[in-house]
């Protein structure tokens, strides 16, 4: 028999238990969102050093120091006075600002925050389109995994930001299109402003203009097809926006010259540049890309939501481009991030319970609920620790970059005209300019004639099993031509490439060699002109005791930018007593 006191306390006890359960459920919900967000942040914290980062910072610093935009090639002896069309000016200024005021760690943090802002805008658009936030964040894990290989500190980051802005603008401007065929004109007229900024930041603006043109053209076509009385004024207004976006591409320091250069550059194959090749199963991005396409395609097929044929057509076109050129995978990821989440949820079904289910509480015992919350908090703590550790390091790997070889050149005051491996050239510019000028670097054909581009890859790759593309005026493949053109005095080669190693080895084994080995380690070799470094009467003569052959592995890392420590003493030799002249063949 229940006493009055017991009957009065039972409802109160049950009410307290329900309130605790609801709090635990809310905590678990928000914790799950945070864990998913941190999972999306991890790919965006990639802290690998892009080989061109040194150059981007250096060119912006040169511009600021000189007070005017350089119009001809700098830091080079093979293209002196040749026109330079730099389509990444704003991005380089941003990178130089970050280097000056934020440092390596600050730049990584800023990059991650920019990436997360893009992801948050994707989630916002997805929720506006009726997607459950949990399902949206789960889909973002797929998107950010595909963005990761491209999310380095490089001008391409601004292309991702501008592409995100374009997609947000289009979504908000046409959010009532299917129901009412209305357009928010003040919003859509922001597009030309974005294009004007984009054209001065990165060559990816061409993709943006193509997406805008296809999107506006598709909406105009819908007006023509779906209306008995075509709204010609609305169609004309959309066409005018498209024309304004095209005109905005002329808002750059070079005017039409930029477009002429692009027309020439984009019609030339680039088999030497990995990002311009088709995705291959050996590429890190290949399988995530294939998985994303499979999930996106399945979602579009199985969805019960309205499919926007304009978005589907644009997505298919960009997927086609990504199948031809690896670098376009990033744009497929962005389009999927903004357009696929509602269809992904529809295809997957409603997997998450609503707040009203079971009165908003776990269908679990109290100890299981609390164990789940504790486990989630542990996961969040581990994620936060991992992110913190990754963001604190911006390492230059001594096994991938010629950190020790560059230090050797600085210690020995080696100057003059340098032929450097493609991926190391801009590091050499930042570390050794103005004492050293380069034969060729990562600016490619923005400031180098085709003849110079081809002779460098002749030296680096040779025939490459017939996979090369060369200009019609470049003549036959000749790997030794780069050693004569412009009379270079130094050569820095990456030992991963056998072709330049064999050329330099043959040069050094001649009876009267033109080149002599000055430095060799597991990563790099430095060769110098014999008349300058092997002649005892030369002021630059380097005796055998000062030349280095060091067979030890190049382990460890140094913080970016890994510039050499300038010293009057022979620092490298004193720190590495075993690194003396020897006959060791590495």
**pLDDT above 90 (res 16):** no
Q: In 174-204, where does DSSP find H-type helix?
A: 177-180, 185-188, 191-198
Give the whole-angstrom CA distance, residue 198 versus residue 194. Answer: 6
Q: Residue 381: is it exposed, middle or buried by C-beta count within 10 angstroms (0-12/13-18/19+)?
A: exposed
pLDDT score at 181: 87
**pLDDT above 60 (res 45):** yes
Once rounded to an integer, what is the mean pLDDT over residues 564-569?
A: 72
Buried b (16+ CB within 10 A) or exposed e, 524-554: bbbbbbbebbbeeeeebebeeebbbbbeeeb
The candidate with the shortest Cα–Cα distance to 555, out of 392, 393, 394, 403, is 403
CA distances from 136 to 142, 346, 353, 367, 559 (A): 10, 11, 15, 30, 36
Judged by average pLDDT, the poorest of 1-15, 171-185, 481-495 is 1-15
Once rounded to an integer, what is the mean pLDDT over residues 88-92?
A: 97
Once rounded to an integer, what is the mean pLDDT over residues 187-193?
A: 98
% of the chain beyond a pLDDT of 90: 76
Once rounded to an integer, what is the mean pLDDT over residues 85-100?
A: 96
**pLDDT above 60 (res 362):** no
Judged by average pLDDT, the poorest of 15-19, 405-409, 578-582 is 578-582
Buried b (16+ CB within 10 A) or exposed e, 83-106: ebbbbbbbbbbbbbebbeeeebee
Given a contact cutoff of 8 angstroms between Cβ atoms, the answer to whether 172 and 158 are in contact is: no
**pLDDT above 60 (res 148):** yes
**pLDDT above 90 (res 20):** no
Once rounded to an integer, what is the mean pLDDT over residues 60-76?
A: 95
Once rounded to an integer, what is the mean pLDDT over residues 497-525?
A: 94
User: Over the chain, what is the mean pLDDT?
Assistant: 90
**pLDDT above 70 (res 25):** yes
DSSP type of residue 548 = E
Kindly report the pTM of this predicted structure: 0.90
**pLDDT above 90 (res 106):** yes
pLDDT score at 511: 85
Cβ contacts of 439 within 8 Å, gap of 6 or more: 76, 77, 78, 417, 418, 419, 420, 452, 456, 482, 485, 486, 488
**pLDDT above 60 (res 573):** no
Give the whole-angstrom CA distance, residue 137 versus residue 194. Answer: 27
Dihedral over alpha carbons 214, 219, 222, 227 (to 10 degrees): -150
Confidence of residue 575 (pLDDT cuts 50, 70, 90): very low
Confidence of residue 349 (pLDDT cuts 50, 70, 90): confident
**pLDDT above 80 (res 359):** no
**pLDDT above 80 (res 351):** no
Once rounded to an integer, what is the mean pLDDT over residues 518-534?
A: 97
| Residues shown for the chain | 586
pLDDT score at 358: 45
**pLDDT above 90 (res 205):** yes
**pLDDT above 90 (res 184):** yes
pLDDT score at 360: 45
Once rounded to an integer, what is the mean pLDDT over residues 446-474?
A: 92
Q: Residue 350: is it exposed, middle or buried by C-beta count within 10 angstroms (0-12/13-18/19+)?
A: exposed
- Between 260 and 571, name the one with better pLDDT: 260
Once rounded to an integer, what is the mean pLDDT over residues 48-56?
A: 96
pLDDT score at 572: 43
- Between 582 and 59, name the one with better pLDDT: 59
Once rounded to an integer, what is the mean pLDDT over residues 246-265?
A: 95
CA distances from 576 to 162, 282, 516 (A): 49, 38, 21
Q: Give the distance from CA 546 to its chain's centroid.
A: 40
Beta bridge partners of 517: 527
Given a contact cutoff of 8 angstroms between Cβ atoms, the answer to whether 398 and 559 are in contact is: no
Once rounded to an integer, what is the mean pLDDT over residues 557-583?
A: 62
Confidence of residue 467 (pLDDT cuts 50, 70, 90): confident
């Amino acid at each position: 028999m229940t006493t009055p006191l017991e009957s009065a306390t039972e409802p109160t006890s049950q009410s307290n238990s329900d309130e605790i359960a609801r709090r635990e459920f809310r905590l678990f919900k928000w914790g799950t969102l945070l864990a998913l967000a941190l999972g999306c942040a991890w790919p965006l914290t990639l802290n690998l050093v892009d080989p061109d980062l040194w150059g981007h910072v250096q060119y912006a610093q040169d511009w600021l120091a000189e007070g005017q935009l350089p119009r001809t090639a700098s830091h080079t002896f093979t293209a002196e006075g040749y026109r330079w069309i730099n389509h990444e000016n704003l991005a380089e200024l941003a990178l130089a600002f970050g280097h000056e005021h934020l440092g390596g760690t600050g730049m990584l943090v800023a990059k991650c925050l920019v990436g997360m802002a893009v992801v948050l805008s994707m989630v916002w658009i997805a929720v506006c389109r009726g997607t459950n936030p949990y399902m949206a964040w789960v889909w973002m894990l797929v998107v950010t995994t595909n963005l990761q290989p491209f999310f380095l500190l490089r001008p391409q980051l601004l292309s991702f930001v501008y592409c995100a802005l374009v997609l947000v603008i289009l979504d908000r401007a046409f959010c009532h299109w299917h129901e009412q065929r209305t357009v928010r004109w003040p919003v859509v007229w922001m597009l030309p402003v974005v294009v004007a900024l984009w054209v001065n930041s990165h060559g990816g603006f061409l993709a943006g203009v193509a997406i805008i043109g296809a999107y506006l053209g598709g909406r105009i076509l819908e007006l023509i097809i779906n209306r008995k009385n075509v709204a010609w004024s609305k169609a004309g207004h959309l066409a005018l926006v498209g024309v304004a976006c095209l005109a905005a591409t002329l808002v750059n320091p070079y005017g039409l010259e930029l477009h002429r250069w692009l027309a020439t550059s984009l019609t030339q194959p680039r088999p030497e540049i990995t990002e311009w090749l088709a995705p291959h199963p050996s590429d890190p991005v290949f399988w995530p890309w294939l998985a994303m396409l499979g999930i996106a395609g399945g979602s579009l097929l199985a969805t019960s939501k309205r499919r926007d044929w304009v978005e589907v057509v644009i997505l298919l076109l960009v997927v086609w481009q990504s199948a031809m050129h690896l670098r376009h995978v990033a744009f497929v990821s962005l389009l999927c991030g903004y357009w696929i989440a509602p269809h992904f949820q529809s295809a997957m079904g409603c997997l998450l319970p609503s707040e009203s289910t079971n009165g908003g509480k776990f269908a679990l015992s109290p100890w299981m609920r609390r164990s789940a919350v504790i486990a989630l908090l542990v996961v969040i703590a581990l994620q936060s620790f991992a992110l913190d550790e990754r963001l604190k390091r911006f390492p230059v790997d001594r096994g991938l970059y010629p950190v020790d070889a560059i230090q050797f050149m600085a210690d020995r005051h080696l100057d003059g005209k340098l032929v450097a491996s493609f991926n190391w050239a801009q590091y050499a510019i930042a570390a050794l300019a103005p004492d050293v000028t380069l034969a060729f670097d990562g600016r490619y054909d923005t400031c180098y004639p085709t003849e110079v581009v081809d002779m460098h890859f002749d030296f680096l790759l040779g025939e490459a099993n017939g996979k090369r593309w060369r200009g019609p005026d470049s003549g036959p493949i000749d790997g030794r031509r780069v050693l004569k053109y412009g009379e270079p005095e130094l050569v820095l080669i990456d030992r991963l490439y056998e072709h330049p190693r064999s050329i330099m080895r043959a040069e050094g084994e001649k009876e009267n060699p033109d080149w002599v080995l000055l430095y060799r380690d597991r990563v790099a070799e430095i060769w110098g002109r014999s008349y300058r470094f092997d002649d005892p009467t030369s002021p630059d003569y380097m005796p055998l005791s000062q030349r280095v052959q060091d067979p030890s592995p190049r382990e460890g890392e140094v913080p970016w930018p890994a510039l050499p420590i300038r010293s009057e003493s022979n620092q490298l030799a004193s720190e590495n007593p075993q690194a003396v002249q020897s006959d060791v063949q590495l």
